[in-house]
Amino acid sequence: MVLEPAIRNELVELIAANFRTDEINELGRLILRCFDCNEASGTRNHISLSPRKSAKLLVDQCDQSGEIPALIKLAVDPPMRVALRLGIDTGKIISDVINYAAHLEKKSTRPGSVSVSRVVYDALPSRLGSLFRYGGIFEDRDFFTNVRRLEALLSDDSDEDEERFA
C-alpha cells in the first residue's frame, strides 16, 4: 500500500499527537515484532526522539513492510489505544476507563464471565453483542455481561453453540 504524501503526513501527525515516543515504540513492536525508534534513526538509546520523529520513522518502516493497514487500525481504534496504554505503563493505572474495567472485573463480574461497559457493548458487532445481556449499573455506568460462562461459549461439544455461532 503506497500512501500519498498528504495522507502519510496526516498519519504521522495523528500518531505524534496521540502517542509518546515509548508508546510509538510499542506500536512498532506490536506491528513489526522488532522496532526501536532510536535504532531506526541510527541514534543511541540515551538520545530522546520527539514523538513526531518517532511517528515518521514508524510510518516509514510500516510502509516498507506493507503494514500500513495494521498501523492505521492500531493508531485509530480507541479500544486498542486504551489497551496499549495499559500495557506500556509501568504499574500506574493512568485512565479512568481502565480503572473502571479493573473494578468492574473485580467487583461485579462472576468467575468465568466477561463484563463490558456500554461503550464497548455498543461498539461490538451484533454477532458478539448477542452474547451479552444487561448486567446493571456499576460506578454510574451501564454494563453488560455474557449470557453463558466462557467455558460453555468456547466448548466444541454443544450443537447449540455451533448453530448459534454459525
pLDDT at position 136: 93
Q: What confidence category does residue 12 fall into, taking pLDDT thresholds of 50, 70 and 90?
A: very high
Give the Å distances, CA to CA, from 129 to 3, 47, 116. Answer: 34, 46, 10
User: What is the average per-residue pLDDT within 29-54?
Assistant: 87
Q: How far is CA 81 from the centre of its chain?
A: 4
Q: Positive or negative, the Cα torsion across 15, 20, 23, 24?
A: positive
Mean pLDDT confidence for 31-51:
87
pLDDT at 96 over 70: no
Using alpha carbons, list the distances in angstroms from residue 155 to 104, 139, 147, 159, 164. 25, 33, 14, 10, 12
Summarised one tens digit per residue, pLDDT across range 119-151 is: 888 888 877 788 888 999 988 899 998 876 555
Residue with cell 532510536: 38
Cβ within 8 Å of residue 141, ≥6 positions away: 100, 117, 118
What local confidence, expressed as pLDDT, does residue 137 receive? 92
Residue 37 clears pLDDT 70, i.e. is over it: yes
> 115: closest CA among 132, 128, 97?
132
Burial 68-105 (b: 16+ CB within 10 A, else e): beebbebbeeeeebeebbeeeeeeeeeeebeebbeebe
- Structure pTM? 0.48
Q: Does residue 156 surpass a pLDDT of 80?
A: no
pLDDT at 95: 60
The values of phi and psi at residue 145, to 5°, are -130, 155
pLDDT in tens, 64-89: 999 888 888 777 665 444 444 444 44
Residue 43 has pLDDT above 60, yes or no: yes
**Domain boundary assignment for the chain:** 5-88, 96-154
Cell numbers that stand for 53 in this block: 520523529
